[in-house]
């Protein structure tokens, strides 16, 4: 009997060695890691173009060692469409937050999805605008207090939160749409599986895929990081149920990851 030490968890080289600018406990870091590991899994680092959003993850290029292009606020799916139509051989994905994708960029995401554009979208939903300082997002939940809904989001004046995964699943074209979260280890593993499935769809030329990730924002939820993690299950998942909302391959009787 011998004892050996094995490295069982380490950073992929797709992640740069730089410390992120994200607040302590922010979910973006976990999602970045999952994306990086998925690119690594498929060996895509040298043929990928990521389109970054405007929002907290606008600086994602500092943390992912891949080619990236900026987009105007909300236009990432249009920029990604341009890259993909110009170079269909490249792997193209957008990484967007809820303000970027579900407010100012609603037209772009709906139409990219509706065209079945062969791109992947990683959509990080933390129910608040982070970069600009905690304003109400399209996905802010009823009663949730933000700097622009100080008394809590009100159904009569602000409407209800947009459920992006459900909304886009009503379209015919998308291949795969799922909502996951990163609030506990099992959920993180499921989130990675969903991102792998989404990326596989593009690799297979099946068209549009989107993974909505419910993610904590301890700073603008105004709570400690660990509590923000548990708040996802306590509040967010009740409004944004987890699951696969559209899976054309399953509908075709094919096995999905």
> By CB under 8 A, what part of segment 82-101 binds another protein?
82-87, 90-91
Q: Which of 35, 38, 56, 78 binds another protein (CB under 8 A)?
A: 78
Report yes or no: 94 and 76 within 8 Å, Cβ to Cβ: yes
Any contact of residue 222 with another protein (CB under 8 A)? no
Residue 206 beta carbon to another protein: minimum distance, rounded to whole angstroms: 19
Rounded to whole angstroms, the Cα distance separating 61 from 16 reads 9
Q: Which stretch binds another protein (CB under 8 A): 43-51, 196-204, 206-214, 241-249?
A: 43-51
Any contact of residue 156 with another protein (CB under 8 A)? no
Name 247's Cβ contacts closer than 8 Å, sequence gap at least 6.
175, 176, 177, 178, 256
Any contact of residue 165 with another protein (CB under 8 A)? no
Any contact of residue 170 with another protein (CB under 8 A)? no
Name 15's Cβ contacts closer than 8 Å, sequence gap at least 6.
32, 33, 36, 63, 64, 65
Rounded to whole angstroms, the Cα distance separating 81 from 89 reads 13
Residue 134 beta carbon to another protein: minimum distance, rounded to whole angstroms: 18
Is 154 exposed, middle or buried, given 0-12, 13-18 or 19+ CB atoms closer than 10 A? Answer: exposed
- Nearer Cβ to another protein, position 149 or 191? 191
- Could you give the count of Cα atoms lying within 13 Å of 133 in the half-sphere of its Cβ? 2
The binding track of 225-244 with respect to another protein, each residue x by CB under 8 A or -, is: xx--x---------------
Any contact of residue 65 with another protein (CB under 8 A)? yes
Closest CA to 177 of 197, 160, 161, 154: 197
Residue 70 main-chain phi, psi, to 5 deg:
-75, 160
Site for another protein in 10-29 (CB under 8 A): 10-11, 15, 19-20, 22-29
Any contact of residue 172 with another protein (CB under 8 A)? no
Residue 250 beta carbon to another protein: minimum distance, rounded to whole angstroms: 27
Any contact of residue 250 with another protein (CB under 8 A)? no
Q: Which of 160, 184, 250, 252 binds another protein (CB under 8 A)?
A: 184
Q: Which stretch binds another protein (CB under 8 A): 63-71, 127-135, 155-163, 193-201?
A: 63-71
Report yes or no: 161 and 141 within 8 Å, Cβ to Cβ: yes
Residue 236 beta carbon to another protein: minimum distance, rounded to whole angstroms: 16
Is 255 exposed, middle or buried, given 0-12, 13-18 or 19+ CB atoms closer than 10 A? Answer: exposed
Site for another protein in 185-214 (CB under 8 A): 185, 188-189
Any contact of residue 81 with another protein (CB under 8 A)? yes
């Amino acid at each position: 009997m011998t004892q050996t030490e094995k490295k069982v968890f380490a950073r992929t080289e797709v992640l740069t060695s730089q410390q992120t600018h994200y607040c302590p406990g922010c979910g973006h870091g976990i999602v970045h890691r999952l994306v990086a590991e998925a690119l690594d899994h498929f060996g895509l680092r040298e043929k990928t173009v990521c389109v970054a959003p405007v929002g907290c993850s606008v600086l994602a290029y500092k943390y992912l060692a891949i080619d990236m292009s900026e987009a105007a606020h909300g236009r990432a799916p249009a920029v990604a469409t341009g890259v993909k139509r110009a170079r269909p051989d490249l792997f193209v994905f957008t990484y967007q937050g809820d303000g970027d994708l579900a407010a100012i960029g609603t037209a772009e995401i709906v139409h990219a999805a509706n065209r079945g554009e062969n791109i992947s979208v990683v959509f990080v939903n933390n129910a608040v605008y982070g970069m600009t300082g905690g304003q109400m997002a399209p996905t802010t939940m009823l009663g949730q207090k933000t700097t622009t809904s100080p008394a809590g989001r009100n159904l009569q004046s602000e409407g209800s939160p947009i459920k992006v995964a459900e909304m886009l699943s009503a379209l015919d074209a998308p291949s795969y749409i799922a909502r996951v979260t990163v609030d506990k280890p099992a959920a993180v593993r499921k989130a990675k599986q969903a991102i792998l499935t989404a990326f596989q769809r593009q690799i297979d030329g099946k068209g549009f895929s989107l993974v909505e990730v419910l993610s904590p924002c301890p700073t603008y939820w105004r709570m400690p990081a660990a509590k923000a993690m548990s708040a996802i299950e306590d509040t967010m998942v009740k409004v944004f149920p987890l699951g696969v909302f559209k899976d054309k391959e399953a509908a075709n009787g094919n096995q999905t990851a």
